[in-house]
Amino acid sequence: MARKELGPHALEVSRAVARMIDGVPRAVVGCSGGPDSLALALGARWAARRTGTTLIAVVVDHQLQEGSAQVAAEAAETVTERGIEARVVTVDIPGGRDGQSFECGPEAAARTARRAALSQVAGADPVLLGHTLDDQAETVLLGLARGSGTASLAGIRPRAGRFWHPLLGVRRATTRAACREWGVTPWQDPQNADPAFLRSRVRRETMPMLERGLGPGIAEALARTASLLQGDEEILDAITGDWLESQGADTGHLPLQPLAAAPTGLSRRVVKAWLAGAGVDASFAHVESVRGLCRSEGGRGVDLPGARVERRGRQLVLVVAAPTR
């Protein structure tokens, strides 16, 4: 019996996955049951047959919506029927459906819990996620709106540690068409149409408005911006690392005079990287306050989330607060 040929959209998805997992012995696929992740899982199965990769699909049930257990079970059943081993992992998120206890918003809390669950199953193996070119464009646009720097505008990296994104060059319309070609019905997350979520508004209102006003190709242009900035980020990160090493900086100490003499752009990156190396997530305002310590009128110290930077002689000293129990 002849093997059924893939449709053009399913083939595009599958080839994108194959390029990324070639030579990878085992990979985990994050699958919510939505069109992007479902297309990713089915494309990964096609690719794995050619690359010899062992796959396991993981469906994370966040328990944030009514009926989430059923949605997760159906997603797992869909990929299992297509020959992919699937597992449902249920996570508990502080705040639950009421969202009252979220410290960083429900989207961020769910993302953190989801990635922790996927990482636990994957171990040392990569985790494939279904972010598309459209997700990349939205990420860049949100970064622009927030006044972010190049690190944020570089968007989603194809390989961000263990999390890999094979579909960053594939449009969302393609993953939906691929699901139709495969004969599967993806789950439609109601939150994607909920205007309470900023990304949902960008997806449904802002991007179409830009397409109408500026013409087609906006998503591709924004995604191309991310790709260009990713290359720049690699160079700038290397320069920053070389500076820190050459000046003898360590986790708790940063030389004051060389920092004061560095160009503004470099000094900002140095402070940001120095703080990040100690696990301190500093905002632009925090970084500028720390840089202000280079001036005599800048004060003697700056309080940061979970830490404090003090000016002591010719050095900046970072004191990280002990974790509370």
Q: How far apart are the first and last CA of the chain?
A: 64
Residue 34 annotated as binding? yes
Residue 166 annotated as binding? no
Residue 33 annotated as binding? yes
Residue 32 annotated as binding? yes
CA 273 to chain centre: 19
Burial 4-23 (b: 16+ CB within 10 A, else e): eebeebbebbbbbbbebbee
Q: In Å, what is the CA distance from 226 to each residue of 63, 138, 199, 219, 238?
A: 33, 11, 17, 11, 18
**Which 8-state DSSP code applies to residue 314?**
T
In angstroms, the CA 55 to CA 117 distance is 16
Contact 311, 324 (CB under 8 A): no
Residues annotated within the binding site are 32-37
Residues annotated within the binding site for ATP are 32-37
